[in-house]
Amino acid sequence: MNKDKILEVKELKQHFRTSKKSVIKAVDGISFDIYRGETFGLVGESGCGKSTTGRTIIRLYDATSGEVKFNGVDVHSLKSKQEIKSFNRQMQMIFQDPYASLNPRMTVKEIISEGIDIHGLAKNEKEKTDRVHELLETVGLNKEHASRYPHEFSGGQRQRIGIARALAVDPEFIIADEPISALDVSIQAQVVNLMKELQQKRGLTYLFIAHDLSMVKYISDRIAVMFAGRIVELADSEELYSNPLHSYTKSLLSAIPVPDPDYERNRQRVVFDHDSYNPEGATLREIKNGHWVLCTEEEFKKMK
């Protein structure tokens, strides 16, 4: 794998104050790197902080503390309009809900060409139209779709439009925030295959956020498992599946259904006790090369 870091996240925290003056620690001090050209999977249950992580990286939220460096520059220190505009072009997001993320009053052409207009990427109307048509064909739609409105498309087609919109400004890095969770299972594989194909052709880097471990394994080079605002395990995709070490990772993996009736009848679920889990004194430690686990000194010695 290319060891050129495109993204460095260090001790990132995202805390929200509620109306009752309490603090929700959505992201509580996480660190990881993403290398150019790879797909980094971020997995966990709803409410674990994975989407908040993605939104903080792309500056939809200001970080409470910590650092996010993209191509060596701290994104939360960008001040000038020009710097922010350049960053917004290099990093794009594909959203979870293909129904809510497209403006129903805009045609497909208007939706896709918004970024082209903002960044001045077309000299004239004809060049812009040609670019939109090319993007539609790139994501498996056709140019006749450009004049239609979002309500005329299925969920899978809308997500393709969302991908075309993200690609319109030629980004280097795409955050895909649960891009397939709102789609039928039969359509999910099509969208993931499209993303893999685009990655190879365009040299893209992905942060792929999801709660479905089976699909994440299929697309990711490395996977980080997140629980209650912290990363509990991080390893290469194959290593994580074949040798899970944290009890939470084991419970997630044991819940993946297998198309084998005999196996399913006798399957042993690993139950993770959310309420009694206490990560006090635990830090992310490297058990073996590239395999990190949130554990105490004592647990670390046992795992080694």
CATH number for 76: 3.40.50.300
Structure tokens belonging to residue 35: 């290398």
What is the pLDDT, as a whole number, of residue 189?
Answer: 87
Q: What pLDDT is attached to residue 180?
A: 87
> CA-to-CA distance for 177 and 284, rounded, in angstroms?
24
Output the pTM of the full model: 0.93
The residue type at 182: A
CA distance 45 to 105: 33
Which pLDDT score, from 0 to 100, does residue 207 have?
A: 98
Span 86-111, average pLDDT: 93
Give the Cα separation of 6 and 66 in Å (integer).
17
* Counted domains in the chain: 1
The helix/strand/coil state of 102 is coil
Q: Exposed/middle/buried for 21, CB within 10 Å: 0-12, 13-18, 19+?
A: exposed
Helix, strand, coil distribution of the chain in percent, nearest 5: 40, 25, 35
Mean pLDDT of all residues in 167-195: 91
Burial class (CB in 10 A: 0-12, 13-18, 19+), 190: middle
- Which residue's entry shows tokens 């001045």? 120
Closest C-alpha to 250, from 277, 218, 288, 219: 277
Query: At 42, phi and psi to the nearest 5?
Result: -120, 115
Percent of the chain with pLDDT over 90: 76
State pLDDT tens for residues 213-230: 888 988 999 999 999 999
| pLDDT at 279 exceeding the cut of 90 | no
pLDDT for the residue numbered 212: 80
pLDDT score recorded for residue 1 = 52
Please name the helix (run of DSSP H) or strand (run of DSSP E) that holds residue 209, with its range, or none.
strand 205-210
The range of the structural domain enclosing residue 218 comes to 5-303
What's the mean pLDDT in 161-182?
A: 94
Please state, in angstroms and rounded to a whole number, the distance separating the CA atoms of residues 235 and 243: 10
Report the candidate in 90, 95, 94 with the shortest Cα–Cα distance to residue 6: 90
Residue 2 predicted with pLDDT over 80: no
DSSP element (H, E) containing 236: strand 230-236
**Between helices 125-138 and 108-118, what is the axis angle to 10°?**
120
CA distance 231 to 44: 9
What is the reported pLDDT for 269?
84
Quick one: average pLDDT of 222-249?
96
What is d(CA 35, CA 23) in angstroms, rounded to the nearest whole number?
A: 33
The two tokens of residue 178 are 């649960």
Q: Which of 48-52, 95-99, 207-211 has the lowest mean pLDDT?
A: 95-99
Per DSSP, helices labelled H in 151-296 are: 155-167, 185-202, 213-219, 237-242, 247-254, 261-266
Question: What is the structure's pLDDT at 66?
Answer: 97
pLDDT digits (tens, 9 = 90+) for 22-70: 999 999 999 999 999 999 999 999 999 999 999 999 999 999 999 999 9
Cα–Cα distances (Å) from 139 to 190, 230, 241, in that order, read 10, 34, 30
Q: In terms of DSSP bridges, do strands 230-236 and 222-227 run parallel, antiparallel, or are they unpaired?
A: antiparallel
